[in-house]
Amino acid sequence: MVAGIRLLLRALPLLLCCCLDAQSAQRQDPELSLEAEAFLEKYGYLDEQASKAPASTRFSNAIREFQWVSQLPISGVLDQATLRQMTRPRCGVADTDSHATWAERTGALFARQQAKMRRKKRFAKQGNKWYKQHLSYRLVNWPEHLPESAVRGAVRAAFQLWSNVSGLEFWEAPATSPADIRLTFFQGDHNDGLGNAFDGPGGALAHAFLPRRGEAHFDLEERWSLSRRRGRNLFVVLAHEIGHTLGLTHSPAPRALMAPYYKRLGRDALLSWDDVLAVQSLYGKPLGRSVAAQLPGKLFTDFEAWNPHNSQSRRPETKGPKYCHSSFDAITMDGQSRLYIFKGSQFWEVTADGNVSEPHPIQKRWAGLPPNIEAAAVSLEDGDFYFFKGSRCWRFWGNKPVWGFSQLCRAGGLPRHPDAALFFPPLRHLVLFKGARYYVLARSGLQVEPYYPRSLRDWAGVPEEVSGALPRPDGSIIFFRDDHYWRLDQTKLRVTSSGRWATELPWMGCWYANSGGALF
Ligand SMILES: *[C@@H]1O[C@H](CO)[C@@H](O)[C@H](O)[C@H]1NC(C)=O
Ligand SMILES: *[C@@H]1O[C@H](CO)[C@@H](O)[C@H](O)[C@H]1NC(C)=O
């Protein structure tokens, strides 16, 4: 933000009188007010710490700001229209900074008051952008009921929407290399914080991170469709969230794709002048070509056509356990080579010959665990199960807790939110993985051994941010991330092969799914 503009904004007086509004707000149903407050807090309109003003003034200021972004009459009063607006389906990214960024983009002309909104740590600061114009992407998974070729086509079209009007270019990363932007569907809580857990149909549809984290998350339980009338149009939401991954904040401009609220496909182009201005202010105009004419929104329904190389007809209905079609939270193996695969609140057992159980609730087998976990490992030394989530850990013998209740593992130097846990047979110790580092644990499981963590470079070829790791009976270690696996030779400490686990590792229990057609 340019300092001059900020000063100018600060100097402009509020247009409406606060005292009057505060009184009318107090007449509201207190329960509705609480809900509205939670909403305003979640979306970055209320900041407890930042202002010394009385609560009622901050509340009506927040409502006023929200009304401004939502193009409602600005009254500062929690009226019916304002309440209704809060229940409309929208993007889960906070509206923080959208006023300020917009004011900057369009000049101080329209600005009425300073957007004195906190910058939420999760969706980093405005002005973040990629420092390259060629970006790769990967679609990690998608709702099972939508045909693969159509979803891939929609993703390609959504990226093209932005590259057609800016200096950006996108390409789909080959499955074996890292991608700048990853698109993933999740259910409920998925470790973005409880406030950002997905909520099923309606409410928050998706959210994404500003650069350069490169991730957009979509609510798997939303009623996604690729048609114009039924359900929630996935293409529109893809295009919006991709906008966030490129660095765009929410736009208050009428009919902007980057407006926080869900937009239908209609006669007008999907990108408004404000969207185009926003992406060009970060990445410039298309190089050496003119800005392509924009198609009317209602044309975006036939996505099979966007994918000339891969236009097989719909794949057959996929079968088999859910983890086979996306990924999992954690995986481990016990002394009988039985796999335990954890996803959300459930786990599956897979016998050595690849026979999969029904999904079981995690908390039913191991009472005292949270609803989902981040990492798990069975010690092949004593057969105990270790579970990790956040800064806590649990140890079970069978289904009996060994430590009575969860331990604060951070105290022993263990990383918070570990990516994966592994029993490493050569050392006969547990190892935790987090980002680019690994931690060898003492026998107690509660303490990191001296001289750790160390860099993952010790394990040549193992990627960062793995989602699981397993010792195999043949002496290799398998690492998992997304739809891929890497096989590490234990003695050479080097990756010797890699591929797609669901289709290439029969013991993963995705045999049924495999016989049904391609998985990823
Ligand atoms: C991008 O521009 C090309 C060339 O004008 C056009 O054929 C294509 O449909 C455009 N794509 C989108 C998503 O608007
Ligand atoms: C595999 O599962 C099927 C049905 O779920 C069962 O009938 C069969 O006995 C199982 N096989 C083994 C070896 O456990």
Same domain, yes or no: 492 and 358: yes
Same domain, yes or no: 278 and 373: no
- Which of 164, 242, 291 is the pocket-test mutation for ligand 1 (most atoms within 8 Å of CB)? 164
Distance CA 142, CA 217 (A): 11
CATH number of the CATH domain containing 181:
3.40.390.10
Of residues 56 and 349, more confidently modeled:
349
Asked if residue 157 has its Cβ within 6 Å of ligand 1, the reply is yes
pLDDT recorded at residue 512: 52
Ligand 2 atom nearest 351 alpha carbon:
14
pLDDT recorded at residue 406: 77
Number of domains forming the structure of the chain? 3
Report if residue 101 sits inside a domain: no
The answer to whether 249 touches 125, Cβ cutoff 8 Å, is no
Report if residue 308 sits inside a domain: no
Spell out the SS3 assignment of 202-262: CCECEEECCCCCCEEEEECCCCEECCCCCCEEHHHHHHHHHHHHHCCCCCCCCCCCCCCEC
Domain's final residue, options 37, 61, 87: 87
Q: Whose CA is nearest to atom 3 of ligand 2?
A: 355
Model confidence over 492-508: pLDDT tens digits? 889 999 988 887 888 89
Report if residue 269 sits inside a domain: yes
pLDDT recorded at residue 438: 95
pLDDT-derived band at 5 (thresholds 50, 70, 90) equals very low
pLDDT-derived band at 116 (thresholds 50, 70, 90) equals very low
**Residue 26 predicted with pLDDT over 60:** no
**Residue 520 predicted with pLDDT over 80:** no
For the chain, give the percent of residues with pLDDT over 70: 83
The ligand that comes nearest to the alpha carbon of residue 511 is 2
Domain's final residue, options 30, 54, 87: 87
Q: Whose CA is nearest to atom 12 of ligand 1?
A: 161
Asked if residue 169 has its Cβ within 6 Å of ligand 1, the reply is no
Same domain, yes or no: 149 and 40: no
Peptide bond into 359 cis (omega under 30): no
DSSP 70: T
Asked if residue 351 has its Cβ within 6 Å of ligand 2, the reply is yes
Q: Is 31 a catalytic residue?
A: no
Same domain, yes or no: 82 and 175: no
Ligand 1 atom nearest 300 alpha carbon:
13
Same domain, yes or no: 269 and 333: no
Model confidence over 452-510: pLDDT tens digits? 999 999 999 999 889 999 999 888 999 999 888 999 998 888 999 998 888 788 889 88
For the chain, give the percent of residues with pLDDT over 90: 39
Distance CA 448, CA 438 (A): 10
Q: What are phi and psi of 269, to 5 degrees?
A: -65, 150
Report if residue 162 sits inside a domain: yes
Same domain, yes or no: 389 and 434: yes
pLDDT recorded at residue 379: 93
Which residue range is the domain that position 240 belongs to? Answer: 128-289+297-303
CATH number of the CATH domain containing 394:
2.110.10.10
Report if residue 257 sits inside a domain: yes
Q: How many residues does the chain have?
A: 520
Those residues whose C-beta lies under 8 Å from the C-beta of residue 159, and which sit 6 or more positions away, are 137, 170, 242
pLDDT-derived band at 106 (thresholds 50, 70, 90) equals low
The answer to whether 442 touches 448, Cβ cutoff 8 Å, is yes
Same domain, yes or no: 237 and 369: no
Same domain, yes or no: 355 and 431: yes
The ligand that comes nearest to the alpha carbon of residue 352 is 2
Model confidence over 266-313: pLDDT tens digits? 888 899 988 998 999 899 888 666 666 778 787 888 777 665 443 333
Same domain, yes or no: 475 and 326: yes
Calculate mean pLDDT across residues 347-356.
Answer: 87
Give helix 30-42 / helix 55-69 axis angle, nearest 10°. Answer: 60
Report if residue 107 sits inside a domain: no
- In 10 A of CB 358, how many CB atoms? 8
Ligand 1 atom nearest 292 alpha carbon:
5
Of residues 45 and 242, more confidently modeled:
242
Report if residue 242 sits inside a domain: yes
Q: Is 198 helix (H, G, I), strand (E, B) or coil?
A: coil
Same domain, yes or no: 132 and 280: yes
The answer to whether 92 touches 245, Cβ cutoff 8 Å, is no
**CB-hemisphere CA count at 13 Å for 481?**
20
The answer to whether 225 touches 231, Cβ cutoff 8 Å, is yes
Residue 305 vs residues 22, 149, 234: alpha-carbon distances, Å? 55, 9, 16
As a dihedral over the C-alpha atoms of residue 80, residue 253, residue 225, residue 180, rounded to 10 degrees, the angle is -130
**Residue 25 predicted with pLDDT over 60:** no
Same domain, yes or no: 458 and 503: yes
Query: What is the pLDDT of the chain when averaged over all its residues?
Result: 81
CA of 304 to the centre of ligand 1 (A): 15
Report if residue 11 sits inside a domain: yes
**Residue 368 predicted with pLDDT over 60:** yes
Same domain, yes or no: 272 and 336: no
Name the catalytic one among 241, 358, 374, 465: 241
